[in-house]
Amino acid sequence: MGSLAFAILRRSFYLAVLPLAGLYVLVPLLFQTVPEFMQHAFFLNFVKVPFLDYTNLTYHGVAHLGRNFRLPEIGARVLCKGEEPVLGVWHVLPASLSRRLEAEIEAGTRKPLTDADYEALLDAESHGVVVYFHGNSFDRTNAHRVDLYNRLADLDFHVLAIDYRGYGDSTGFPSEDGLIEDAHFIYNYARARAPTKNIYVWGHSMGTGVSARFVAELSDLGIPPVGTVLESPFNNLHDVVTHHPLSRPYRWLGERFNRLIVDRWVDSGLVMHSDERIVKHKAPLLILHAADDHIIPVKLGKKLFEAADKAGVDVKYVEFEANLGLRHKFIHKAPHLADILKEFFQRCEAFTTSRKPTKRHEEVHIDA
């Protein structure tokens, strides 16, 4: 009986451990031999819900009037197998404007909005336009992202939310240079159709890496956004990869882990050194991070804040304590978030005037 139990335990051990051991060896091997695997492993754009209807914003929880549209990247320099990508985009109207238009449509004094109407309304009454860049995996329909769109619309902002190339219903496949070009296309779209409005950039998780480089490039061009919000950010690729939960089995390799994994990503064109790029930002910056973030440790967001502060960027760092349970993607539910954003947006507006406020470097911790 004892030998039978031992045999069962041994078999169970092999069944549990051998697949993990094989994966442990297979992942570095794939990094060395299959470049496409490296990109997929970082961007996770293959993680998606199939057969989604992107045209019905209400079905996905958007609380205000909005539209789904396609943005072709005509003249794109970073092509996908020789073709220009086409991005899937949502435009969500500000709450007060949405309510007024809904009432007019219901009363029969206005026809349902057309695509041309939405484009014209982008420059209509509002506090401005927020261009949102999401993190890796899934798409613009994710519930936590939709809740943020609603909250920004409640503050009377237009929201433009894209899916990068290869995500959602956007065509092509992702690369760092490609995502940056996607960001330029949607930003230029907003500038062309909302010339009188302030434009803000909001990035979450991987989207903070996109935003940090993108805004640095805009600053070099002399056309920075009025302000930038980085939610749950990281300081650089090396640190975010080595601190990610999935890298835990490889950390004991030390410098060999860098050569096997991180360096291979860099060689493929994936850099995302936000701490180097953020020093070029020419507009106020707000960094939001949760102390209990289990994907990107809060210390990486703090390092990014320190890099911006050292470079003289106007920056405010807000850390939400662990007792709030906001983790990596629920900062949109944070207490006082609306007040934090209102204060930040007002400060950004002040920077557009001739009497700019004194630059600040402020750190705030919120626990209730």
Give dist(CA 185, CA 133) in Å, integer: 12
Q: Which of 331, 259, 269, 323 is nearest to 301 (CA)?
A: 331
Give dist(CA 322, CA 344) in Å, integer: 23
Amino acid code (one letter) for 311: A
- 328 counts as catalytic: yes
Give dist(CA 285, CA 227) in Å, integer: 6
| Size (the chain), residues | 368
Look at strands 227-231 and 285-290 and give their pairing: parallel
Q: Choose the catalytic residue: 98, 205, 232, 274.
A: 205
Give dist(CA 279, CA 274) in Å, integer: 9
**Unique residue bearing structure tokens 């809060």:** 298
Q: Which of 103, 107, 86, 84 is nearest to 95 (CA)?
A: 103
Give dist(CA 147, CA 141) in Å, integer: 10
Give dist(CA 64, CA 264) in Å, integer: 44
**Unique residue bearing structure tokens 């794939």:** 30
Instruction: Judge contact between 141 and 168, C-beta under 8 A.
Output: yes
- 144 counts as catalytic: no
Q: Choose the catalytic residue: 239, 293, 309, 314.
A: 293
Q: Choose the catalytic residue: 127, 238, 289, 328.
A: 328
> Around Cβ 360, how many Cβ atoms within 10 Å?
12
Sheet holding 285-290, edge to edge: 66-72, 86-92, 158-163, 129-133, 199-204, 227-231, 285-290, 315-320, 361-366
- 293 counts as catalytic: yes
Q: At what angle do helices 206-221 and 176-193 cross, to 10 degrees?
A: 60
Residues serving a catalytic function are 205, 293, 328
